[in-house]
């Protein structure tokens, strides 16, 4: 027999990892665990069993947290937070470095414990999960060291409630705990019910590192405990898990004035073009969907193959699937381990059995909580398995003909977490990547992640980023003592004086002046009781029309930053030419004397955002390996906004300008008590080369228009600077499709830097990370 024949026919023998040390760690603690609160473990209480999914063996008994446990954890975190923040970034960095080193020293213990508890192959826990967790603590120790220098004027949020899933228990802990601690927050963490052991082991090393009491608190239990954490008196909720639960968290947090980040589900496309390296792409598929048994939110679970190579690709893929080894996760020769729990296995099987497609399984899985790698073809794009997250080792496949069709199929989902593009033509890859509605795009690769590069999605995959400066900033707030808004009321009048020329003010939709759908208008009076004019009253159909017009102006996102800047400069020039007229109108409406200053500030703001158009830059992230990770700032899409009441012109301009500067389209509801300045501004828009539909202006009741804005499925974001308290309604309404919201609730001084800057630009953009490996 030749060497080639021996190599091709030889089989792998077992290479078991010894679990003795990990089991001893559990036994040494009595195999019963309480919570970790205020720097110490509580006495174990009534609870539930943690099992090894590969064998069904009971590993330990964990304690089900009560409301008093959660309250005690939050109280401990609240008490510890001021002193923890007062250490300064450099002081906190020392503790984060210590935690990173301890994760390294106990790397094998964490890896084996993770595999025992979760069922993932030991190779993945050892070579991916644990090293990445270490990397996050090292990286964020560096961010803490640099915080005062690089994030001036920002401070910690306070106490963060964090709820993590079962698929990457230790890594998800690191993603959330490390940035929170680095920025000066304290945390109350709820690990997944099925996989809490590595979180409790992390609590152990928190004690070894001498972490101050109360900085990290861990409570265990089922989803009810997660709900308690979300509803507790915390300053931020950070959640990774299913879209359904994320929607409930958005509803539960509505109107509370707390920060929220959600990293949710996905149905990521894996796009293979005809010029791809087929063998490399097949290995990419293996990594994309069968890594961690497909129990990955960014798994490449939708395979899209160009028709010319589809038959060959699927033949080779099936052959490769036949070589995948499913079995004991502690065997270092195993490719696919156990499903985390019998309930999850049953869910996967039920979805596959109901699919109706052509099912190919790579052999039989061992008895127990295992499921074989599965390929399903012959489904339509609307089939449930093409749309819904399976969260298991199941790949669905279809074909496409052209790049445009590939993009259309890829974006035909309610999710937007990750995507993978395979082509040896860099022009094709970099042409398609920006067109994909996704927070992460991998070119000729998959599952590339690093602490320096932001991770997160769009649409119903959630919002916010984890990793990088963008992830760290989400655990901070701007230090500015802005008071809460108070309601601004307009003036009343008793008589209507005749005017020489009756000019009917209209709204602005799709580049044209438009009458309100309802046919109603309201009288707007000056401070002296005299009639200034009649303002249209918009309704939900006017919002529908405005959003439709904004969607039709999608070409604005493709305009160059230079061109957008020219339009904003032109707007500023044309507004300046009418400064006297606007100043008089503002003073007459508001009864003040600051009209001139407001107009000048509005002109300056237009020039400021014109300057920002081509200067709000992305970044190339310093990630390990031969790969370029580009963080690109992209427009969110269509943003609806309730403009400030107190600054009728400047407020509208301050909201509109960053939105359109970044390539978005705007649906603006003008100041409710003082709408006439916005209606006059329409004439400036009409003479300033603003494409129709890019800016749409409505007038009417903020309270009545808030819900239609929040619930409109074609709006990507909703902002509110209204003096009417609409936070709860907007945030609850936005939960339906999980759109981003920014409800300010603060009395900004719009004449100062409180009314402009990076906070507005950040809110008007999404960060897309594009990973491009290189090398001959």
Give 43-69 pLDDT, tens digit per residue: 999 999 999 999 999 999 999 999 999
Confidence band, pLDDT 50/70/90 cuts, at residue 496: low
- Whole-number pLDDT of residue 480: 80
Residue 376's SS3 state is: strand
Contact present, 93 and 76 (Cβ < 8 Å) = no
pLDDT of residue 701 exceeding 70, the answer is yes
Mean of pLDDT values over 131-158: 96
pLDDT single digits (tens) 302-333: 999 999 999 999 999 999 999 999 999 999 99
633, 619 contact by CB (below 8 A): no
Q: Which residues pair with 621 in a beta bridge?
A: 629
Q: For 170-196, how does the pLDDT look when each residue is reduced to its tens digit (9 = 90+)?
A: 999 999 999 999 999 999 999 999 999
What is the rounded CA–CA span in Å between residue 383 and residue 379?
A: 6
Once rounded to an integer, what is the mean pLDDT over residues 408-421?
A: 96
pLDDT of residue 493: 85
CA-closest candidate to residue 167, choices 89, 308, 266, 82 = 266
Measured in degrees and rounded to the nearest 5, phi and psi for residue 47 equal -165, -140
pLDDT over 60 (residue 264) = yes
Whether the pLDDT of residue 499 is over 60: the answer is no
Catalytic positions are 263, 297
CB 329 within 8 A of CB 298: no
Contact 434, 428 (CB under 8 A): no
Q: Is the pLDDT of residue 530 over 90?
A: no
Give Cβ neighbours of residue 280 (< 8 Å, ≥ 6 apart): 422, 444
pLDDT tens-digit series, residues 102-121: 999 999 999 999 999 999 99
What is the β-pairing status of strands 418-422 and 440-443?
parallel
Q: In this structure, is the dihedral angle defined by the CA atoms of residues 523, 527, 532 and 536, taken in order, positive or negative?
A: negative
Instruction: Tell me the CA distances in angstroms from 475 to 179, 185, 187, 338, 532, one per residue in order.
Output: 7, 8, 11, 35, 46
pLDDT at 502: 55
* Residue 431 confidence class, pLDDT cut points 50, 70, 90: very high
The helix-helix angle for 169-182 and 197-208 (nearest 10°) equals 40
Q: How far apart are CA 129 and CA 348, in angstroms?
A: 24
pLDDT band for position 503 (cuts 50, 70, 90): low
Q: Report percent pLDDT > 90 for the chain.
A: 90
Q: How many CA atoms lie within 13 A of 373 on its CB side?
A: 26
Q: Is the pLDDT of residue 11 over 90?
A: no
Quote the pLDDT of residue 128. 96
Q: Where are the alpha helices (DSSP H) in 625-696?
A: 650-661, 676-686
Return the beta strands (E) in 519-588 as ranges. Answer: 521-525, 531-536
- At residue 500, the pLDDT reads 52
Q: What is the predicted pLDDT for the residue at 497?
A: 58
Exposure string over 42-64, b if 16+ CB within 10 A, otherwise e = bebbebbebbbbbbeeebbbbbb
Which CA distances in Å does 551 have to 639, 716, 770?
10, 10, 25
Which tens digits make up the pLDDT trace of 759-773?
999 999 999 999 999
User: What's the pLDDT at 70?
Assistant: 98
Tokens of 549: 């017009």
Q: What is the pLDDT of residue 498?
A: 56
Please state the rounded mean pLDDT for residues 672-677.
96
With residue 628 as reference, give the H or E element that holds it: strand 627-635
Contact (CB, 8 A) for 330 and 112: yes
DSSP string, 95-130: HHHHHHHHHHHTHHHHHHHHHHHH---HHHIIIIIH
**Is residue 499 classed as helix, strand or coil in its secondary structure?**
coil
Give the pLDDT confidence score for residue 484 in this predicted structure: 85
pLDDT value at 8 more than 80: no
Q: Residue 352 pLDDT more than 70? A: yes
Residue 599 near residue 586 (C-beta atoms within 8 A):
yes
Q: What mean pLDDT comes out for the span 667-694?
A: 96
pLDDT at residue 483, as a whole number: 86
Query: What letters, b where the CB count within 10 A reaches 16 and e where it falls short, cover 657-666?
Result: bbbbbbbbbb
Rounded CA separation 231/131 (Å): 33
3-state secondary structure of 27: helix
pLDDT in tens, 706-761: 999 999 999 999 999 999 999 999 999 999 999 999 998 889 999 999 999 999 99
- Position 15 confidence tier, pLDDT thresholds 50, 70, 90: confident
Crossing angle of helices 595-612 and 650-661, rounded to 10°:
10
pTM: predicted TM-score of the whole model, two decimal places: 0.94
Handedness of CA 377, 379, 384, 388 (dihedral sign): positive
Taking each helix axis as running N to C, give the angle between helix 307-321 and helix 278-289, from 0 to 180 degrees, rounded to the nearest 10: 60
pLDDT for residue 689: 94
517-528: buried (b, 16+ CB within 10 Å) or exposed (e) per residue? beeebbebbbee
């Amino acid at each position: 027999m030749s060497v080639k024949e021996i190599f091709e026919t030889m089989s792998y023998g077992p290479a078991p990892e010894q679990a003795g040390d990990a089991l001893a760690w559990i036994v040494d603690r009595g195999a019963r665990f309480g919570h970790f609160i205020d720097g110490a473990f509580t006495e174990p209480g009534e609870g539930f069993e943690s099992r090894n999914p590969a064998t069904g063996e009971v590993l330990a008994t964990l304690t089900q947290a009560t409301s008093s446990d959660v309250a005690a954890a939050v109280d401990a975190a609240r008490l510890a937070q001021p002193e923890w923040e007062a250490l300064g970034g450099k002081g906190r960095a020392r503790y984060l470095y210590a935690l990173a080193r301890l994760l390294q020293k106990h790397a094998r213990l964490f890896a084996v414990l993770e595999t025992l508890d979760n069922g993932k192959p030991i190779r993945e826990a050892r070579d991916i999960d644990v090293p990445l967790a270490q990397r996050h603590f090292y990286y964020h120790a560096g961010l803490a060291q640099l915080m005062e220098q690089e994030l001036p004027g920002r401070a910690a949020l306070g106490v963060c409630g964090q709820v993590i899933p079962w698929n990457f228990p230790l890594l998800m802990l690191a993603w959330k705990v490390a940035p929170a601690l680095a920025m000066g927050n304290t945390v109350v963490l709820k690990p997944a019910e099925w996989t809490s052991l590595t979180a409790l082991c992390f609590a152990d090393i928190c004690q070894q590192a001498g972490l101050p009491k109360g900085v990290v608190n861990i409570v265990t239990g089922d989803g009810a405990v997660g709900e308690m954490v979300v509803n507790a008196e915390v300053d931020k909720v950070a959640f990774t898990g299913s879209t359904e639960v994320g929607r409930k968290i958005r509803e539960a947090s509505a109107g509370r004035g707390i920060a929220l980040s959600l990293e949710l589900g996905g149905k990521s496309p894996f796009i293979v073009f005809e010029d791809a390296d087929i063998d490399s792409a097949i290995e990419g598929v293996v990594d994309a969907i069968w890594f961690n048994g497909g129990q990955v939110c960014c798994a490449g679970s939708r395979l899209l193959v160009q028709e010319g190579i589809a038959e060959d690709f699927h033949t080779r893929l099936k052959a490769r699937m036949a070589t995948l080894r499913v079995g004991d996760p502690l065997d270092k020769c195993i490719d696919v381990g156990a499903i985390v729990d019998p309930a999850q296995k049953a869910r996967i099987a039920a979805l596959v059995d109901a699919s109706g497609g052509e099912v190919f399984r790579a052999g039989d899985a061992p008895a127990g909580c295992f499921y074989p790698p599965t390929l399903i073809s012959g489904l339509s794009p609307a089939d449930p398995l093409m749309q819904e997250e399976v969260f298991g080792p199941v790949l669905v496949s279809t074909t496409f003909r052209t790049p445009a069709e590939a993009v259309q199929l890829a974006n035909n989902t309610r999710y937007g977490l990750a995507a993978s593009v395979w082509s040896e033509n860099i022009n094709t890859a970099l042409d398609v990547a920006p067109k994909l509605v996704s927070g992460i795009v991998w070119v000729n690769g998959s599952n590339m992640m690093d602490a320096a590069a932001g991770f997160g999605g769009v649409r119903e995959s959630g919002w916010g980023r984890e990793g990088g400066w963008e992830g760290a900033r989400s655990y901070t707030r701007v230090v500015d003592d802005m008071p809460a808004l108070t309601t601004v009321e307009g003036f009343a009048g008793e008589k209507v004086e005749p005017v020489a020329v009756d000019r009917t003010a209209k709204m602005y939709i799709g580049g044209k002046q438009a009458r309100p759908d309802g046919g109603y208008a309201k009288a707007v009076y000056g401070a002296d009781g005299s009639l200034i004019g009649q303002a249209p009253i918009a309704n939900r159909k006017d919002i529908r029309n405005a959003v439709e017009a904004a969607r039709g102006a999608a070409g604005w996102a493709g305009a160059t930053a230079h061109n957008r800047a020219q339009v904003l400069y032109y707007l500023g020039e044309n507004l300046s030419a009418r400064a006297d007229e606007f100043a008089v109108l503002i003073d007459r409406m508001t009864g003040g004397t600051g009209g001139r200053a407001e107009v000048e500030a509005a002109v300056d703001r237009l020039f400021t955002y014109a300057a920002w158009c081509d200067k709000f830059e992305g970044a190339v992230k310093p990630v390990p390996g031969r790969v370029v990770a580009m963080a690109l700032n992209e427009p969110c899409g269509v943003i609806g906004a309730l403009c400030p009441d107190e600054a009728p012109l400047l407020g509208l301009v301050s909201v509109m300008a960053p939105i359109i500067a970044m390539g978005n389209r705007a649906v603006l509801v003008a100041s409710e008590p003082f709408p006439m300045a916005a209606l006059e501004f329409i004439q400036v828009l009409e003479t300033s080369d603003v494409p129709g539909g890019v800016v749409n202006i409505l007038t009417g009741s903020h309270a009545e228009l808030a819900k239609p804005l929040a619930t409109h499925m074609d709006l990507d974001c909703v902002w509110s600077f209204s003096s009417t308290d609409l936070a709860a309604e907007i945030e609850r309404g936005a939960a339906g499709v999980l759109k981003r919201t920014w409800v300010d609730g603060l009395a900004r001084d719009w004449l100062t830097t409180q009314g402009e800057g990076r906070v507005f630009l950040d809110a008007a953009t999404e960060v897309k990370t594009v990973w491009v490996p290189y090398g001959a």
